[in-house]
Amino acid sequence: MADKSGDERGVDRAAILLMSLGEQSASEVLKHMDPKEVQSVGTAMAQLKNVSRSQVEAVLKEFCITVQDETGLGLGSDEYLRSVLKKALGEDKADNVIDRILQGGNTKGLETLKWMDPRAVAEIIRLEHPQIIAIVLSYLDADQSAEILGLFPDRVRVDVLMRIATLNGIQPAALNELNNIMEKQFSGSNNVKSSSVGGLRAAANILNFMDSSVEGEIMDNINEVDTDLGQNIQDLMFVFDNLNDVDDRGIQTILREISSESLVLALKGAEDSLKEKIFNNMSKRAAEMLRDDLEAKGPVRLSEVEGAQKEILAVARRLADAGDIALGGTGGEEFI
């Protein structure tokens, strides 16, 4: 196989391992993955070609070594789970998952929503109270939540996003309301602790995935209602021009993960300072080719430019979540 980035090699190794396990065992493993992981690994499995016996043996050997090294025998199960999840998901995401697992919360209904089309989810929750919608969107991934929120009327978007930003946790009473939406059985015990979902960062993450025009309109409306809240959300947002704040090593890591076509489109709408930063982190020949491509590229629709920028930002956030790079928000605060 051709040389690839670390993440891509990891997905390829996972694909080879699953193909080696056989249908039954592979299907059991896939049951424990989330929708994006299934899609990523499934795509890699479909694209596997000319895999040699030595490659398969290398993957299996590496897997066995990893299992031996990472065994949890002799460790407290809770602490081992916390350690594994934080390494796999990053601090923020792991805390949310740990809350649900260790505090006894059953989120099967919400997890089902992650597999559904955004329009279908929006249809299910559109008539619910905005607080319930905010709770549901806080559980889902930011990109999916952004698509769902984009399907609601303007006034609902603003109301829901403000509720997400000020959501400090979910109490048992709120979980009981959620039961009615999902028609699933959640734990309604008064002993259940609040689950840490929502908050300013969740609101900022969702806005980061929305179209710029919609994002701007929502922020204008929030600022009219609560200027301080709007500023706090804005400080945590990460937009394309904020890539200027990423160090050279981080820029180089991002560049290895994106296509030249997306980069050309995205830079059509970028500041000159960011263009120069990109050029300076490429080889001289690659930078010259990129300059030529930019000059040769004719007029493009704003929606295409924004789409390419969102695509690159999604890659940057994924790398930040994995701890591979550090992102700086508009307020200068680290955004990981």
CATH fold for domain 240-335 = Annexin V; domain 1 (1.10.220)
Residue 54: pLDDT band by 50, 70, 90 thresholds? Answer: confident
pTM score of the predicted model: 0.45
Greater model confidence, 140 or 176 = 140
Instruction: Specify the amino acid at residue 239.
Output: V
Q: Which residues neighbour 129 within 8 Å (Cβ) at sequence distance 6 or greater?
A: 177
The pLDDT of residue 197 is: 57
The tokens describing 159, both together, are: 């109301």
The pLDDT of residue 322 is: 79
- Is residue 71 pLDDT above 60, yes or no? no
| Highest mean pLDDT: which range of 112-116, 265-269, 323-327 | 265-269
Cβ-defined contacts of 107-115 (< 8 Å, 24+): 107/139, 107/186, 108/184, 109/178, 109/181, 109/182, 109/183, 109/184, 109/186, 110/136, 110/139, 110/140, 110/178, 110/182, 111/34, 112/182, 113/139, 113/140, 114/34, 114/35, 114/140, 114/141, 114/144, 115/35
The pLDDT of residue 251 is: 92
Q: Is 49 helix (H, G, I), strand (E, B) or coil?
A: coil
CA pair distance 78, 140, nearest whole angstrom: 24
CATH fold for domain 103-236 = Annexin V; domain 1 (1.10.220)
Residue in the block written with tokens 């899609």: 39
- Within the chain, all domains assigned CATH 1.10.220.30 are found at 103-236, 240-335
The pLDDT of residue 87 is: 67
Greater model confidence, 135 or 5 = 135
